[in-house]
């Protein structure tokens, strides 16, 4: 059994906000294999983006835990070592392509600079690699567009350039934070296809952040559902969509357009990150909450089906943080208060 490409254990990220200490990420663990897409999903403020930025210490905060990548704990690396990791082994794709590109340099020059910084090539050879990258991400007439500036590209084309920039270091891990949020549905589908093709071609691992479970259903191999800095549920895409265990996951699914009879928003507001509630962090909004949910720690992540190794969902990694998965409750009781909602995933037949 090979080691995962990325292994995150008990990651905690804290920083000082205007109203006190913010525990943005509080004990998050997951693994990501080469060639796999792992989606972090959840509402705004769930800690998805901070988790991604913490991987290469892009976030100015106190970090604890372990981030194993390339045989070392990135939290123990010096700033010089981290600079080598960023952009080469681990590349980030951010949601705003406009902000990721320098408006005063041509896209070709920006790409060539990335290639020269991360690969052992310079000059004309680096230019050829840059043009090849533009071509690979689907920029028509790539050589002719080399000297164009970012403002001469559409939003979708700019995001393709940003992906080319991320690939300039030939990374092993792509961290894509809501890379299609600013794009219309057609361009979004094209970018998701492009990421899938590039992943298959290069066997990179992709950590994909989205608030949109519909997008996660299209791209994910496995999913981590986050709420208020904690992992609520984790498992393969089929397990999560066919047998969602956590009331929060089920509530997110009912919010999806086309699922159930109508849009069904989650009641209440996300918690104040400077003053998280005792017990399960979701309890103020949970329709299934019982007294035990209001005290102690977040329930541990438990096997979604301990009766066999693979579980009902056929997924041994499927686990849920909810008291109803503990010894004192019957998870079947969840069904009456938190109904399921079906979502079509990429692998499902029509
Ligand atoms: S632990 Fe309680 S509050 Fe949390 S999801 Fe389960 S039932 Fe709801």
Taking Cα atoms as reference points, which of 127, 134, 132 lies closest to residue 159? 134
| pLDDT of 266 | 82
**Residues 93/162, Cβ–Cβ less than 8 Å:** yes
The H or E element containing residue 125 is helix 123-136
Neighbouring-strand partners of residue 334: none
**Ligand 1 atom nearest 334 alpha carbon:** 7
Which of 244, 287, 323, 328 has most ligand 1 atoms within 8 Å of CB, for mutation?
323
Determine contact, residues 65/10, Cβ cutoff 8 Å. Answer: yes
314-348 burial code (b ≥16 CB/10 A, e <16): ebbbbbbbbbbbeeeeebeebeeebebbebebeee
Looking at the CA of residue 290, tell me the nearest atom of ligand 1: 2
The answer on 327 and 250 residing in a single domain is yes
Looking from the CA of residue 325, the nearest atom of ligand 1 is 6
12's enclosing H/E stretch is strand 6-17
Give domain status of residue 232, yes or no: no
Asked whether residue 196 is assigned to any structural domain, the reply reads no
Which of 170, 195, 211 marks a domain boundary? 170
Which residues sit with their C-beta closer than 6 Å to ligand 1? 246-247, 280, 282-283, 286, 288-289, 293, 299, 322-324
Give distance in angstroms: CA of 201 to centre of ligand 1.
Answer: 41
Of 170, 197, 224, the domain-final residue: 170
Place of tokens 């939290």: 75
Instruction: Report the DSSP beta bridge partners of residue 227.
Output: 230
Cα 187 from Cα 235, distance rounded (Å)? 28
Angstrom distance (rounded) from CA 253 to CA 37: 20
Ligand 1: centre distance to CA 311 (Å): 21
Reading the block at residue 219, the tokens are 């791209």
Of the candidates 142, 117, 148, 141, the residue with the CA atom closest to the CA atom of residue 130: 142
Q: What are the tokens at 57?
A: 């210490």
Q: How far is the CA of 322 from the centre of ligand 1 (A)?
A: 5
Same domain (yes/no): 241, 327: yes
Are 333 and 245 part of one and the same domain?
yes
161 within a domain of the structure (yes/no): yes
User: Are 333 and 258 in a shared domain?
Assistant: yes
| Domain interval for residue 285 | 237-337
Whether 302 is covered by a domain: the verdict is: yes
Residue 1 covered by a domain: no
Atom of ligand 1 nearest to the CA of 287: 8
- Does residue 252 share a domain with residue 160? no
Q: Are 202 and 164 in contact (CB under 8 A)?
A: no
Is residue 113 a part of any domain in this protein? yes
Q: What is the pLDDT of residue 258?
A: 63
What is the reported pLDDT for 310?
Answer: 45
**Same structural domain for residues 242 and 164?**
no
Answer with the one of 170, 196, 224 that is the final residue of a domain: 170
Residue 136 lies in a domain: yes
What order do you get walking across the sheet with 6-17 strand by strand?
20-32, 6-17, 62-69, 72-73
Alpha-carbon Rg for the chain, nearest whole angstrom, is 21
Q: What's the 3-state SS for 145-193?
A: HCCCCHHHCCHHHHHHHHHHHHHCCCCCEEEEECCCCCCCHHHHHHHHH
How remote is the CA of residue 103 from the centroid of ligand 1, in Å?
A: 48
Of 323, 338, 246, 252, residue with least CA distance to 288: 338
Residue nearest to atom 6 of ligand 1 (CA): 322
Quote the DSSP letter at residue 278: S
**Number of domains the chain contains:** 2
Q: What is the largest CA-CA distance in the chain?
A: 68
pLDDT truncated to tens, each residue of the chain (350 aa)?
A: 688 999 999 999 999 888 889 999 999 999 999 999 999 999 988 999 999 999 999 988 899 999 999 889 999 999 999 988 887 899 998 877 778 899 999 999 999 999 998 888 999 999 999 999 999 888 999 999 999 999 999 988 898 899 999 888 889 999 999 888 777 788 888 888 888 888 888 889 999 999 888 889 999 999 999 999 999 999 999 999 988 999 999 989 888 766 655 566 788 888 888 889 999 999 999 989 999 999 999 999 999 876 654 445 567 789 999 999 998 888 877 766 665 554 445 555 44
Q: Are residues 330 and 245 in the same domain?
A: yes
Atom of ligand 1 nearest to the CA of 293: 2
């Amino acid at each position: 059994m090979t080691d995962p490409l990325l292994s995150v254990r008990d990651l905690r990220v804290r920083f000082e906000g205007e109203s006190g200490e913010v525990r943005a990420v509080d004990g998050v663990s997951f693994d990501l294999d080469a060639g796999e897409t792992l989606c972090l999903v959840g509402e705004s403020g769930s800690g998805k983006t901070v988790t991604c930025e913490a991987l290469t210490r892009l976030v100015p905060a106190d970090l604890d835990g372990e981030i194993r990548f390339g045989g070392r704990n990135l939290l123990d690396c010096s700033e010089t070592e981290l600079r080598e990791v960023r952009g080469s082994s681990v590349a980030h794709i951010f949601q705003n392509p406009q902000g990721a590109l320098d408006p005063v340099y041509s896209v070709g020059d920006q790409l060539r600079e990335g290639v020269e910084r991360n690969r052992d090539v310079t000059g004309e050879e680096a230019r050829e690699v840059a043009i090849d990258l533009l071509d690979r991400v689907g920029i028509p007439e790539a050589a002719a567009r080399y000297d164009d500036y970012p403002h001469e590209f559409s939003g979708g084309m700019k995001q393709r350039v940003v992906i080319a920039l991320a690939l300039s270091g030939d990374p092993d891990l792509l961290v894509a934070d809501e890379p299609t949020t600013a794009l219309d549905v057609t361009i979004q589908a094209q970018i998701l296809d492009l990421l899938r093709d590039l992943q298959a071609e290069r066997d990179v691992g992709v950590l994909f952040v989205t608030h949109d479970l519909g997008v996660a259903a299209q791209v994910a191999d496995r999913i981590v559902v986050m709420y208020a800095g904690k992992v609520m549920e984790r498992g393969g895409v089929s397990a999560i969509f066919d047998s969602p265990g956590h009331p929060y996951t089920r509530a997110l699914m009912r919010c999806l357009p086309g699922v159930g009879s109508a849009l069904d928003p989650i009641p209440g507001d996300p918690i104040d990150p400077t003053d998280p509630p005792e017990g399960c962090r979701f309890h103020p909004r949970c329709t299934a909450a019982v007294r035990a949910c209001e005290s102690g720690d977040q329930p541990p992540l438990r096997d979604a089906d301990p009766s066999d190794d693979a579980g009902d969902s056929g997924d041994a990694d499927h686990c849920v943080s909810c008291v109803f998965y503990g010894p004192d409750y019957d998870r079947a009781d969840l069904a009456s208060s938190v109904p399921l909602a079906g979502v079509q995933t990429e692998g499902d037949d029509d």
